[in-house]
């Protein structure tokens, strides 16, 4: 039963986690934006000592956004960077080219465990019911 519940939780987590990547893969638009500012962060408890963790950019349309660097090198202010944005604005813009489609192997493995554990639970319950009726 534990394997069944864990498989369900993992499957739901993976599908929710992959939604943004899938949306950006399906309808993301790649364009260049100009860096207009740096966001510096200092958090001694997290081991961050005055680092640039995000940048403000302006798109060719005039729209502005704040993009997280995620450990990437901070581009200079005024530099052009490649970004990907969702035309429907359901997913926040991000640095870099359009992502590949997310992999389905972890979700498939989780689904196989879920089906196998469901069959095991069903078989066990059917056997217990048959034994109690005889």
Domain ranges for the chain, please list them: 1-27+100-134, 29-97
- The answer to pTM > 0.85 is no
E strand spans, the chain: 29-43, 48-58, 64-68, 80-85, 94-95
- What CATH class has 29-97? mainly beta
Q: Is 96 helix (H, G, I), strand (E, B) or coil?
A: coil
Please check the confidence at residue 55 and state whether its pLDDT lies above 70.
yes
Answer whether residue 83 shows pLDDT above 90. yes
Q: Is the pLDDT of residue 110 over 80?
A: no
Q: What pLDDT shows up at residue 1?
A: 63
Share of the chain above pLDDT 70, in %: 83
A 10 A CB-CB count for 67 gives 21
Q: Which residue has the higher pLDDT, 7 or 53?
A: 53
12-16: average pLDDT:
67
Give dist(CA 96, CA 25) in Å, integer: 12
Both structure tokens of 47: 């081991």
Integer Cα distance of 34 and 81 in angstroms:
6
Return d(Cα 56, Cα 34) in angstroms, integer: 8
Task: Return mean pLDDT, the chain.
Answer: 82
In the prediction, which pLDDT does 4 show? Answer: 67
Q: What is the pLDDT of residues 113-129, one digit of tens each?
A: 778 877 787 888 888 88
For residues 80 and 32, what is the distance between their CA atoms, to the nearest angstrom?
Answer: 6
Overall size of the chain counted in residues: 134
């Amino acid at each position: 039963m534990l394997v069944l519940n864990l498989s369900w939780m993992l499957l739901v987590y993976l599908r929710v986690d992959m939604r943004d990547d899938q949306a950006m893969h399906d309808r993301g638009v790649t364009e260049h934006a100009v860096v207009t500012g740096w966001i510096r962060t200092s958090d001694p408890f997290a081991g961050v000592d005055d680092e640039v963790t995000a940048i403000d950019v302006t798109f060719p349309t005039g729209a502005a956004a704040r993009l997280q660097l995620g450990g990437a090198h901070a581009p200079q202010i005024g530099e052009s960077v490649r970004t990907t944005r969702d035309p429907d604005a359901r997913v926040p813009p991000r640095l870099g080219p359009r992502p590949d489609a997310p992999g389905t192997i972890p979700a498939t493995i989780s689904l196989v465990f879920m089906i196998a554990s469901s069959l095991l639970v069903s078989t066990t319950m059917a056997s217990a019911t048959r034994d109690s009726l005889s």
